[in-house]
Structure 1
């Protein structure tokens, strides 16, 4: 058996990240600094190591609702221009250090206006931070509306207003149960009329109806997580897979799935990496991508997510390149720019690694 890619080798590979929350990847040291500067006093600890462990432990509850509670602290310190710019800059630095060459980072502007910022000022502060990041990574932003709130149309208009200067799309996020995508149908219809891109968190903590609504009612370009599509696939005794109509539609239409394996374990959407639906979905050639979701809460990176899949499924370089090209194909930037990154950066980068280590 050939030697499988190691974590250190994977870090050298050019990677693409489509599903990562800005407020879910803040450095613990930065949270403490910003809390001190802003007078935020509700942190469970001001020791960086202890705070990092607290976020991981709090997120390891098996509940999406409990997982989401951890964001009160990160959002709580991200309510000034300086804080937002710093967090965005450091996000780009951390991703570039992990070998990410293209990323789409999402955040909810409505959660960062508690200290007097306008929605436009929030967006401009984040864009400035990403402009200050390393030149070797390109970052686009997704503006997220909270599905339990009522500002989705306003945030959709904001995304369209800034789409030529760094905002590449729109999303809705938050607890799925009780808040179906169709509650925000007017926002999605507006985006379609404006020829704008959007993804929808669907099929994570809730099942097939959430996915069906996101695609067939709302017209999502991509699915955030989409892990519950597995519920529409049956496996016979001989291992043959039979796809239901929704699963077949998702595969046939090449609708990208923004999968986040470690996060899914934490929220109870999967029981282990080895049993995560990503293995079957990759075998069935769904448009699967690999993502981090929240790097702080999951204590992870794109490289670490790949390394876990290598261990669980025996994936080699060809598999990792397949996931990466899938992600770049599914990005919300123009086709020619996606193609340039695939042919000019990603494929040459993987080819060089394959040659250097001498294995597929």
Structure 2
């Protein structure tokens, strides 16, 4: 474990810090109590537990089990209870509230509209319900003295054949809360190149997209996402470390793909706890984010699925702080990286950095200095 610097933040300071989230799945972040409520309303009787605390524990244990079948089952439950406009509105509003309570000031939350059609909704109705829910959550957060802005990413499933349709849907709603597009699902056997028509369409429309790549499949997935598809960001991208060699003497050599990713400032949507669950890494201390931070890749810190991972953005930073001794300066670095990489206009990103993020961290650092001065004065008897 790294030696902690003098200005290591407390858990409360991390929670209060203004944070940015780029990789979070709506169907992976429901409150356990909400899942129970929605299941009851929908007459859905397949939940493994009906008491919220036990259900939350079940989701985390299933995700930690190492069984892909059990992991996928978790999403079957959350999708099953979000097949109406009212249910989607509620989970989107609660998502925004929960993130704001965790100190997140900007978030991009993704979901696959095609997975919410079993109750008779159309794609347009799904998007409208989620967008309205996010706006309601932002409003409720403001009432509680918190600020947050949430943009939606529309996801197409890589094993399905609706990516162009979903890309067109995202483009139609780009001025009503949808900020970009994504593809998700198993990488192996479902390369992003199968969806080139969607990516070419988005590029013609000057729209933004990220691609789940380099989570499990490795460097070929990253290369295809960047060079064949033209992704703006990499969803996960953790396997870029496979193209980095650290010698016995500590000397680091970057392969051509890793050098390209760093030189082009390609954002990496890293999700530490999720990577542990899927077996991409063995521990927080072994997570490549430590090396990628030292090498100044554009690394960002994300949650992936807050329910399944039992996590939050603050908890991710707490675990990384414990593993690598990160300071408030480090957390600010990750946060600014994320805000620079968001899919909203440049002037709006810049305003968030200069008017919200930097002042927020400056206040926390001043508090820390004041507390240390007080401790020193007390110790000296002054």
TM range, smaller chain: over 0.9
Long gaps (5+) in structure 2:
373-382
- Does residue 329 of structure 2 align to residue 318 of structure 1? yes
Aligned-pair RMSD on alpha carbons?
A: 1.2
Where 1:132 maps in the other structure, the secondary structure is helix
Kept in 1: contact 2:25–2:111 (CA 8 A): yes
Deviations 1:3-27 (A, max 9, x none): 5111111001000000000000000
Equivalent residue, structure 2, for 1:222: 233
Cα distance in 2 for residues equivalent to 1:299 and 1:357: 29
Deviation of residue 67 (structure 1)? Answer: 2.5
- Contact 2:7–2:328 (CA under 8 A) maintained in structure 1: no
Q: 1:71 corresponds to which residue?
A: 75
Ranges in structure 1 where 5+ consecutive residues have no aligned partner:
none
Deviation at 1:68, TM superposition (A): 3.0
Deviations 1:112-134 (A, max 9, x none): 00010000000000000011012
Contact 1:182 1:218 in 2 (8 A): yes
Q: Is the 8 A contact 2:7 2:368 kept in 1?
A: no
* Partner Cα distance (1:340, 1:316) in 2: 24
Deviation readout 1:208-265 (Å, 9 max, x if unpaired): 0000000000000000000000000011111111000100000000000000000000
State whether residues 64 and 205 of structure 1, in contact with CA within 8 Å, keep that contact through their aligned partners in structure 2: no
**What TM-score do you get using the length of structure 2 for normalisation?**
0.93
- Please report how far the alpha carbon of residue 300 of structure 1 lies from its aligned counterpart in structure 2 after TM superposition: 0.4
1:64 Cα deviation (Å)? 5.4
Question: Which residue is equivalent to 1:213?
Answer: 224
1:295 to 289, 295, 306: 306
Tell me how many residue pairs correspond in the alignment. Answer: 360
TM-score of the aligned structures, taking structure 1 as reference length: 0.98
Equivalent in 90, 96, 108 of residue 86 of structure 1? 90
Q: Does 1:13 align with 2:17?
A: yes
| Residue deviations 1:279-317 (CA, integer Å, cap 9, x gap) | 000100000000000000000000000010100000001
Cα separation, 1, equivalents of 2:224 and 2:117: 30
* Aligned-partner Cα distance in 2 for 1:179–1:2: 47
Residue 116 (str. 1) matches residue 120 (str. 2): yes
1:265 alignment counterpart: 276
Does residue 203 of the first structure (1) align with residue 207 of the second (2)? no
Partner of 2:380: none
Q: Out of 133, 136, 156, which is 1:132 matched to?
A: 136
Alignment match, 1:183: 194
Residue 139 of structure 1: SS of its match in structure 2? Answer: strand
Structure 1 residue aligned with 2:108:
104
